[in-house]
Amino acid sequence: MSTPFERRVSSKPKPVRLYIERENKEGGKVGKGRRAKMSGTPNPPPTDLEVAEEGYGTPSENLFTRRAPPSRPRGPERHHSSNPFEDAPQYNAESLARMISIARKESGRGGKITIRDRICCYQWTWFTMATGGVANVISSVSQAYDARWLEYIGVVFFLLNLVLFTLNCIMITMRFILVPGSFMHSFLDEVESLFIPAVVVSIATILINITQYGCPYTGPWLQSVMEALFWVYVAISIAASTGMYLVLWSTQVFPIQTMTPVWVFPAYPLLLTASLATNLISTDRVGPDDPMINRVAIAATAVTVQGTGFLISFMICAAFIYRLMTQKLPRDMQRPGVFISIGPPAFTVAGLVLLGQQAGDILPPDYAGQPHAVFILEILSIILGLWLWGLSEWFFIVSVGSLWKYTRNHHSIPFQMTWWSFVFPNTALVTATLGLAKALNSTGLRIYGCVMAAALVLVWAIIFGRMLRCLWTRQLLWPKDLDKDG
């Protein structure tokens, strides 16, 4: 006679097993395959998933590029949701190409592709932030060795970053004007939407460079302006991060097998708050009649926002580790995004360690137990910085190791704008290393940081030259012609 517990277990329905039809590279069937057999549920269509023997599905390169935008029902049968994003159409690279093709036809242009057509292909990924990051690195190296001549090189990168940012703003605006509907498309695209916060991060790098190369050589008026801009940036970064994640969670579905650290990118605006605060406080030169900025409020806000951004990024990076354990490394087109995992801990080290070393300037002199509080904050910032610096170094080794197969002749990564991920997250690692070297008075860390800085400038030059070459050879900003496909 069975017990009540056994009867409940035996009456539990068996799980439904889903089998995905597989196809080989030539388009033939690998096996007969079986579809999910569920009462009242239609058979699922074939997908671009390669199913391993253990049952996990690894996405192919064109998983998201072959799918056309789903049709939307019209008439009274259409479901009206209270969520304004729920009924939004899904876009992909092919839908953007069709929008560009329609815009070309409506303008009456012929088959010849002009500059106007190439501008229509501009995307948010062109806001690279790498040039401003290199200017930040050069400033850190010049401070570590008191090399004034390096500041002139940093000013060149700073000015170049301003030019590139202005050019990107003009080009992306022209795209939205020339291709109607492409603005909403950028928020609903499965890839491009993740890079929209790059605009806010680019603004953060510009503000950091202004405090480094402008505030020490101007009057207190610029310091007051930067203090006001700091609070404006904090508000914008919080709104951009939370708003972008809400849009993504309301409109997109990201399977775990397609996960890369690019998912962290909407949290990146929060991660530069501490770096901006520490540079703002360090350049606060107070004269006899000059008012001092509110250092305590700036530091406390920076620690709060920085901690929030790091914890969000840490949880997402934990999902990335799970993806690596179950789905192997990302494919070729996604491999540069692995370097983005270096940024969250590295930016946190660069900001918090230097804030801790400035505790004597931040805490007011009449603070109770001020000498002891300064000592405790310095020690805590160093300990926390060493932990997170080790984590960022670990991600750096893993990211570099993931490129090992491309040293062989028959493996290569096609150039795309995500190659700049090789530069920008590593700029945070260099500034974090130099910050720890200053806190610990370590000559070894200082030399290591300078060697990394030199290598980073070299990588920046290679990628920048490759980008210009691909623009000239029509590999970038070239519209995909869908007229032949009907």
Predicted local confidence at residue 11, as pLDDT: 47
**Band of residue 95 on the pLDDT scale cut at 50, 70, 90:** low
Cβ(157)–Cβ(135) under 8 Å? yes
Task: Determine, yes or no, domain membership for 34.
Answer: yes
Task: Determine, yes or no, domain membership for 260.
Answer: yes
Lowest mean pLDDT among 49-53, 351-355, 374-378: 49-53
Q: Return the top range by mean pLDDT from 349-353, 364-368, 404-408, 474-478.
A: 349-353
| pLDDT score of 97 more than 70 | no
Give 475's DSSP letter: S
Task: Determine, yes or no, domain membership for 57.
Answer: no
Pairwise CA distance, residues 196 & 86, whole Å: 20
Task: Determine, yes or no, domain membership for 328.
Answer: yes
Task: Determine, yes or no, domain membership for 223.
Answer: yes
Pairwise CA distance, residues 43 & 111, whole Å: 41
Question: What is the extent of the structural domain holding 37?
Answer: 16-47
H-run or E-run covering 17: none
Q: Domains in the chain: how many in total?
A: 2
Cβ(207)–Cβ(229) under 8 Å? yes
Query: For residue 424, which of 320, 276, 277, 272 has the smallest C-alpha distance?
Result: 272
Q: What share of the chain is helix, strand, coil (3-state, %, to 5)?
A: 65, 0, 35
**Residues 231-249 pLDDT 10s:** 999 999 999 999 999 998 9
Predicted local confidence at residue 182, as pLDDT: 86
Cβ(392)–Cβ(432) under 8 Å? yes
| pLDDT score of 277 more than 90 | yes
| pLDDT score of 269 more than 90 | yes
3-class SS of residue 51 = strand
Mean pLDDT (whole number) for 428-445 = 93
Query: For residue 265, which of 168, 185, 206, 192 has the smallest C-alpha distance?
Result: 192
Query: For residue 191, which of 240, 131, 123, 134 has the smallest C-alpha distance?
Result: 123
Pairwise CA distance, residues 146 & 457, whole Å: 19
Task: Determine, yes or no, domain membership for 358.
Answer: yes
**Band of residue 445 on the pLDDT scale cut at 50, 70, 90:** very high
Task: Determine, yes or no, domain membership for 181.
Answer: no
Residue 51 sits at φ, ψ, to 5 deg, of: -95, 125
Task: Determine, yes or no, domain membership for 89.
Answer: no
**Band of residue 391 on the pLDDT scale cut at 50, 70, 90:** very high
**Band of residue 486 on the pLDDT scale cut at 50, 70, 90:** very low
Predicted local confidence at residue 190, as pLDDT: 80
